[in-house]
């Protein structure tokens, strides 16, 4: 009972008070505490991600084994998980060439490079011949497989160039083009994300329709403001009130001006009020946790 209840409460209290004090005491050791705390947070978050991945596999595998409704989606989730994991930690791709010596036939080399990179000959000439190679000039194209990079290397060596085939470093393959991970991110994940946001637009439209029903004064204000914002941000809104002179007393009635005023002032005021409320809520919840009043993290009510 002591280990399960009082030790966690003591740890939370000590860490919470120390972290709070570090914001007000700019001296050692408190000045560097935030950096160390952030590192500990990253370590804990890494283990949390591992636990989350294992939990995902457990839930989806159970659904797949028992052939529950929608088990096909569970199969797709498991396959996507392991394929992405493979591209992240085992297969990375991203082979590229480094031109160390252009040889005695630079025109042929430039022609091969311009055809492969699909760029103008003059651009290729300025990039790969008009500068000192030094340790080599990286050709601005990466290949998924080593064989495709070697094929291009052989064509350049036939023309007289000296070429080295290199591979992107681990970690860099997560963001660089023409790697397996970048391919699955851009062609699968990005497409799925775009689809989800496209579907979300219909849900937003449906929710707006329900919210804009005039039931009381607040709903009426929301309806009027929403219509002004939506119409004022498209060319149609400018066209509707274009007859009002911009330099007249009634210029504020132009929809593009009125919607901008609503966005800059009432909307900003409401957003700031919400953020202040969130901040006060965070302070209150944090104090309850630090002082041991809130014990939900211990599994208690």
From CA 212, how far away is CA 112, in angstroms rounded? 62
Do 99 and 83 lie in a common domain?
no
- Does residue 67 lie within any of the structural domains? yes
Q: Does 54 map to a domain?
A: yes
Domain-ending residue, one of 58, 88, 118:
88
Q: What is the mean pLDDT of residues 220-242?
A: 83
pLDDT tens digits along 265-292:
998 999 999 999 999 999 898 888 888 8
Residue 64 within any structural domain of the chain: yes
| Overall domain count for the chain | 2
Q: 14 and 61, same structural domain?
A: yes
Residue that terminates a domain, selected from 114, 147, 167: 167
Highest mean pLDDT among 1-15, 146-160, 170-184, 267-281 belongs to 267-281
Is residue 10 assigned to a domain?
Answer: yes
In a domain, 8, yes or no: yes
Residue 218 has a pLDDT of 80
SS3 category, 135 = coil
The answer to the question of residue 174 being in a domain is no
Question: pTM of the predicted model, to two decimals?
Answer: 0.61
When the pLDDT of each residue in the chain is averaged and rounded to a whole number, the result is 82
Same domain, 62 and 101: no
DSSP codes, 196-252: HHHHHHHHHHHHHHHHTS-SSHHHHHHHHHHHHHHHHTSHHHHHHTTTS-TTSGGGG
Residue 145 lies in a domain: yes
Judged against a pLDDT cut of 80, whether residue 211 lies above it is answered with no
Q: Final residue of a domain: which of 121, 148, 167?
A: 167
Higher pLDDT, residue 156 or 83:
83
Please check whether residue 292 lies inside any domain of the structure: no
Q: Find out whether 60 and 74 touch, Cβ atoms under 8 Å.
A: yes
- What is the domain extent for residue 149? 95-167
The two beta strands, 137-143 and 95-101, are: antiparallel
Both 61 and 104 in one domain: the answer is no
How many angstroms separate the CA atoms of 145 and 167, rounded?
Answer: 10
Task: Kindly state whether residues 20 and 42 are assigned to the same domain.
Answer: yes
């Amino acid at each position: 009972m002591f280990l399960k209840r009082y030790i966690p409460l003591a740890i939370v209290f000590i860490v919470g008070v120390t972290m709070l004090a570090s914001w007000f005491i700019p001296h050692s050791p408190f000045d560097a505490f935030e950096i160390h705390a952030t590192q500990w947070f990253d370590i804990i978050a890494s283990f949390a991600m591992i636990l989350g991945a294992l939990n995902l596999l457990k839930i989806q595998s159970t659904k797949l084994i028992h052939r529950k409704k929608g088990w096909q989606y569970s199969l797709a989730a498991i396959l996507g998980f392991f394929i992405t994991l493979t591209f992240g930690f085992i297969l990375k791709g991203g082979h590229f060439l480094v031109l160390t010596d252009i040889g005695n036939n630079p025109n042929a080399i430039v022609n091969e490079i311009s055809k492969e990179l699909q760029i103008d000959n003059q651009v290729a000439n300025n990039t790969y011949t008009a500068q000192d190679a030094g340790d080599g000039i990286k050709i601005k194209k990466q290949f998924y497989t080593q064989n495709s990079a070697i094929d291009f290397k052989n064509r350049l060596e036939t023309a007289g160039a000296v070429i080295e085939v290199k591979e992107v470093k681990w970690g860099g393959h997560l963001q660089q083009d023409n790697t397996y991970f970048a391919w699955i991110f851009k062609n699968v994940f990005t497409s799925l994300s775009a689809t989800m946001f496209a579907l979300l637009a219909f849900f937003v439209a449906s929710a707006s329709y329900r919210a804009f029903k005039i039931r009381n004064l607040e709903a009426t204000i929301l309806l009027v403001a929403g219509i002004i914002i939506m119409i004022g941000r498209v060319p149609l809104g400018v066209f509707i009130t274009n007859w009002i002179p911009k330099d007249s007393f009634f210029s504020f009635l132009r929809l593009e001006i009125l919607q901008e005023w609503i966005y800059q002032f009432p909307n900003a005021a409401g957003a700031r009020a919400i953020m202040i409320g969130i901040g006060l809520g965070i302070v209150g919840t944090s104090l309850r946790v630090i002082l041991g009043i809130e014990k939900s993290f211990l599994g208690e009510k």
